[in-house]
Amino acid sequence: MERLQTAAKAKKAQLQRMRTSVPATRARSSTERQAAQLEAASARKIRSAQRKDADRVGAEPDAALKKDQKTARDAKYAARKARQK
């Protein structure tokens, strides 16, 4: 019985020590976490801006390619219709 009480007291003391040391660690890690989140958000904004710029530049060749594809498709369609007559 006495050993159980001693073990319980030791466990309580251990938990108390952990409780007192955790808030300082949490506060420090939360500020670090916030800083990391802000850094990630700014990097995300930069990447999205770069993608938008790349999309604007790349959109012109895509339009030309689509126009060429449409022209080829229309020519095939016209040739097929001409054969059917």
List, for residues 27-64, the tens digit of each pLDDT value.
Answer: 667 788 888 899 999 999 988 888 887 766 666 667 77
The pLDDT value recorded for residue 27 is 62
Kindly list the distances between the CA atom of residue 3 and the CA atoms of 11, 16, 18, 34, 68, in Å, as whole numbers in the listed order.
12, 20, 22, 46, 87
Checking if the pLDDT of 7 tops 90, the result is yes
Number of Cβ atoms within 10 Å of the Cβ of 14: 10
The DSSP secondary-structure symbol of 9 reads: H
Across the range 11-20, mean pLDDT stands at 88
Q: Which residue has the higher pLDDT, 9 or 51?
A: 9
